[in-house]
Amino acid sequence: MAALWGSSVRDAKLALAEKVSTGRRAYAERLVAEASGRQRGDAEPSEDAAVDRYVESNYEYCDALMLGKLWQRSAYDAKVLIGRKLAANNRSGIEYALEQAREHEYFCSFADTGLNYGDAEMLARAWGMSINETKARLADKVSMGQRDMTMELIEWARNPRG
């Protein structure tokens, strides 16, 4: 854990103890299990390999933007870090960071979601809302990790069932 986190053994033990003592034992156990996927001496993936891993994942540009804001990095740097965390089998670390980004309200704009104006226009009509309100609502849903639900709403608006 310490090598993966870049900390001392003492600090890693303290961090894990803090998680266990605050009722997050399952999370601490998951961190330890995921850390066993990459041990000291394992090579960190190159920047290109890390970006490739990010691209092949379910994480999106909006996620990279939010994490970039949290980590005070560019979206590209966040993609590299996400890819490296995936290579280290540390998906829970990414999810935890996304939760933190959401708590800080580091949300994406509609333009960052990959959704299009036509979809927003269609939903605005279906919901009886303005385009701007609909775009804001869609951006919030994607930022909150609800892309699947958002895509279902768009599909519903395209093919309403009578």
**Distance between CA atoms of 75 and 78, rounded to whole angstroms?**
5
Does the reported pTM lie above 0.85? no
Tens of each residue's pLDDT in the chain, 162 residues: 665 555 677 777 777 778 777 877 777 777 776 665 544 455 677 899 999 999 999 999 999 999 999 999 999 999 999 999 999 999 999 999 999 999 999 999 999 999 999 999 999 999 999 999 999 999 999 999 999 999 999 999 888 775
Rounded distance between C-alpha atoms, residue 44 and residue 55, angstroms = 17
C-alpha count within 13 angstroms, C-beta hemisphere, residue 39:
2
The single-letter DSSP state of residue 88 is T
